Structure 1
Amino acid sequence: MPYDTFLFRSAARPSDAAFRPFVGLGLRAQIKGRTTEAIGGYAGGPLTLLATGAQRAAVVGTASAGLSYRLTSGVEFFTTIDAQSGEDDHRESASAGVRIRF
Structure 2
Amino acid sequence: MFTYLLFALAAVSLLVVYYFRMLNRKKPVPAALRSAAILKFNSYKSFGIMATIRFNDTGAPNVGDQIEQEGNTYRIKGVIVESPLQHDQVWECKLEKM
| Class of the TM-score when normalised by the shorter of the 2 chains | under 0.3
Q: Mark the structure with the bigger radius of gyration.
A: 2
Would you tell me which structure has more helix in proportion to its own residues? 2
TM-score, normalised to structure 1, is 0.21
TM-score, normalised to structure 2, is 0.22
